[in-house]
Amino acid sequence: MSDIIWPAGYVPGFTDNFCSNEVIVEGLGVEDIWPLLNVPAQWPGYYANSANARFYDNKGPELSLGARFYFETFGFPVESQCVEHVAPVKGQPARLAWHGWAGEENSDSRLDVHHAWLIEALSENRVRILTQETQNGNPAKELAATKPNPMINGHQDWLDGLVAAARKAKQ
């Protein structure tokens, strides 16, 4: 199975917080998942922890490499830029990643993240959806120390909602 591609400064184990969530489900394909994930305005419809998505520079509604966008999650207003965008192609995983940030640069409240997704077709009509996020900054340290971990639980809700929405759309 494939792995997330990490940029310098965001490799798990060397950041202030890391979370990894994965599901493997039968009866869905990469083509069922991608349209729901690639359009941030759809996220609140299946993931309650996402709100107010919008694009800058007349981009959107779909993500694309380099596109700047904004959304709110975990109580943070997140400015983002899509840094990896590999649409579904038979025989290779689809990939999506963004650098997100909140707070003033060089301040104690600054949070920088790399949030990546990998959607991979598996044998016997299964799909693997992996989402991983690394974070740097004091808010990341606080999140990492919180039990239960809100990032793990929140991203699991995102995966579960994404799968449910894809199943509903497929019916």
- Helix, strand, coil percentages for the chain (3-state, nearest 5): 25, 40, 35
Q: What is the mean pLDDT of residues 17-40?
A: 97
Q: Tell me the C-alpha distance between 43 and 47, whole Å.
A: 6
With cut-offs at 50, 70 and 90, classify the pLDDT of residue 74.
Answer: confident
For 74, the 3-state DSSP assignment is: coil
- Kindly list the domain boundaries of the chain, sorted by start residue: 17-170
Decide if pLDDT at 1 tops 80: no
168 Cβ neighbours under 8 A, 6+ residues apart: none
Average pLDDT of the residues in 131-157: 96
CATH class of 17-170: alpha beta
| Residue 75 confidence class, pLDDT cut points 50, 70, 90 | confident
SS3 38: coil
Q: What mean pLDDT comes out for the span 25-31?
A: 97
**57: Cα within 13 Å, side-chain hemisphere:** 9
- What is the Cα–Cα distance from 54 to 35, expressed in whole angstroms? 17
Residues 30-69: tens digit of each pLDDT: 999 999 999 999 999 999 999 999 999 999 999 999 999 9
Element (H, E) at 90: none
d(CA 62, CA 139): 29
Tokens at 4, concatenated: 């997330």
Half-sphere exposure of 27 (CA within 13 A, CB side): 8
Structure tokens at 129: 């959806």
